[in-house]
Homo-oligomer: A and B are copies of this chain.
Amino acid sequence: MFVILVYDVEQKRVAKVLKTCRKYLYWVQNSVLEGEITEANLVKLKTELEKIIHRDTDSIIIYRFRTTRYSAIETLGIKKGGEENIL
């Protein structure tokens, strides 16, 4: 399936969350990742993320799409991050 993941976590956990997400997904920019992922890997990713984030302050949203990718992606303002910025 295709997923879009958006995280909103405390600054000190951003690097770890991003690193974990990037094992499975492509980093679009800022706090957004996307990619094709299997159900099994999505379960793995969620399990790993749940060990990192603090449930009382951090938040992660995962949009799941059965088959389709988006038809276009647009950006206003700067591009913060993305695949060219390797951590």
A74→B80 CA distance, assembly (Å):
25
The total of chain A residues at the interface (CB under 8 A) is: 40
A30 close to B (CB within 8 Å): yes
Copies of this chain present = 2
**A11 to B: closest C-beta gap in Å:** 13
A31→B7 CA distance, assembly (Å):
9
Chain B residues, Cβ within 8 Å of A86: none
A30→B65 CA distance, assembly (Å):
20
Across the interface, do A65 and B71 meet the contact criterion of CB distance under 8 Å? yes
Chain B residues, Cβ within 8 Å of A78: 55-59
Closest 5 CB pairs of A and B: A60-B76, A8-B30, A64-B72, A59-B77, A58-B77
